[in-house]
Amino acid sequence: MRDDSVDDPITAALLGESQYERARARRYSLFKQSIPRKIALQGFVLAALALVYPLAITLPASSRALFPGGDPLASTPKILLLGAYAGTIELVAVLGLVYVGYRVQRDHGDLGEREAHRLLNVEDVASMISLVTGAAAVAAVDGFFLLGHGGQDAMSAFFAAGGENPFAATPIPVTVVSIAVPAAVLSVTLFALSVAFARCLPSRGTHD
């Protein structure tokens, strides 16, 4: 008779040697995805942030006029401050996840219970700020550029509702290119890291 427990990742984690996997299986968390999958999700968030470039260069003339000098690429619109914030959040979060993944891979079977819980705390915080806070900030940035694609009617309705010009100038030198290019590069890097961790992390529970 086949032992079905072998196919159950939770049972496998609970019966395995890794304190990290046992603690992870027992722990309640809003983010139960594996570290490789969380890193891949961060890659998607950053890819969405990189979309600000094609969104900017395809804006209609009426919306381009809202940018200082009428040039979305050369200007420093204040909405991109939120994009810089989102990119910084994602970078900090992925460093946290990479640290956890590295420790789990390096010390598999040797982690104590207290250290396992500490790593899970780091993982949970990194997941929260990247997949909730960072993703919401990226959605807002892309959302305003998509609103700009609605042209004069959409922007006039936004201003009539009390909104301020999201493309107004800011003295902080944050441009579309300085946001989109690093986001695209980091996105590709995270997808590669996701594949690498999926191959090297020892426990099958970590891959679910």
- Residues 13, 205: contact at Cβ < 8 Å? yes
Looking at the chain, the whole-number percentage of residues with pLDDT higher than 90 is 64
Query: Where residue 202 falls among pLDDT bands split at 50, 70, 90?
Result: low
| pLDDT, greater one: 31 or 28 | 31
Give the domain ranges of the chain.
Answer: 4-207
CA distance 111 to 12: 17
pLDDT band at 13 (very low <50, low <70, confident <90, very high): very low
Residue 7 has pLDDT above 60, yes or no: no
pLDDT (tens digit, 9 = 90+) per residue, 178-193? 999 999 999 999 999 9
Q: Does the structure show a pLDDT above 50 at 1?
A: no
Tell me the pLDDT of the chain averaged across its residues: 85
Q: Look up residue 131 and give its DSSP letter.
A: I
Instruction: Give the residue with greater pLDDT, 152 vs 14.
Output: 152
pLDDT at 114: 82
pTM listed for this prediction: 0.83
- Cα–Cα distance for residue pair 97/103, rounded to 1 Å: 10
Greater pLDDT, 55 or 109:
55
Does 166 score more than 80 pLDDT?
Answer: yes
CA distance 181 to 177: 6
How far, in Å, are 41, 47, 77, 88 from residue 91 at the CA level?
Answer: 13, 13, 22, 5
